[in-house]
A = this chain, B = another copy of it.
Amino acid sequence: MMMDTHHSNKQTKGAITKHKIIVEARDLFYRQGFAATSTAQIAKKVGVSEAALYKHFKGKMALLLATVEPERPHDQEVSYFSTLSNLDLLGAWTEQLISTVFHNRPQYTIIFSESPRHPELSENYIRHLHQLTNADKELLTRMDKGQLPKLDLVLFQVGIIGSFLAMLTHKRIYEPTLNLQDIPEDIRHTLISIVEGKLFQQ
């Protein structure tokens, strides 16, 4: 009845089904939005009955929460970041951030678009955004030492992610054929330039 949520390896039949449900629900929430997606549609896509779906999740809301767990970025060693110049550190920080967001687009898109309506989601959101990577820590250290100007890193991060997701959406709308396997070069360039402060520098 409780399923083996404490296992990360999906071995039992039930766990496999549960995982499938999460994957398909995430895809639908991402593409159609939470409210516009019905549990019937999810069940159909997974190939199970709605009743089965409700054995794995208490409700649609519990399912939403399960779909937004982002994977951690491939974090580098602290020592690596500490060797970088300010500019290179900022570049590496940005690269890591947008790479993480890009490879977890569905999760981030769902969180950013549904958070205002679902406070439960915000908790998840801050839990991840506030979890500092080594690049974050190195940035904060240098801000403390006065080597970099101080700013609200979380707010800035939110801004960068919001900007990134908006540009990706824009491109998808006007180039529907676009295959988004890699981060489009113009978007990457714009973001890196923004962070490194050379957007309108001559």
Contacts and interface: CB of A to CB of B under 8 A. Distances in A.
A96 to B, nearest CB: 16
Nearest to A198: B197
Given A33-B117, A36-B117, A152-B186, A170 B199 contact: no
Interface string A163-202: 1111101111110000000000011001100111111111
Interface of A: 31-33, 35-36, 86, 90, 112-113, 115-117, 119, 122, 126, 148-149, 151-152, 154-156, 158-167, 169-174, 186-187, 190-191, 194-202
4 pairs of A and B residues whose beta carbons are closest in the complex: A162-B166, A35-B35, A163-B163, A35-B36
A162 B186 CA distance: 16
Given A33-B35, A200-B196, A166 B173 contact: no
Contact of A158 (B31, B170, B202): B170
Contact of A161 (B117, B164, B166): B166
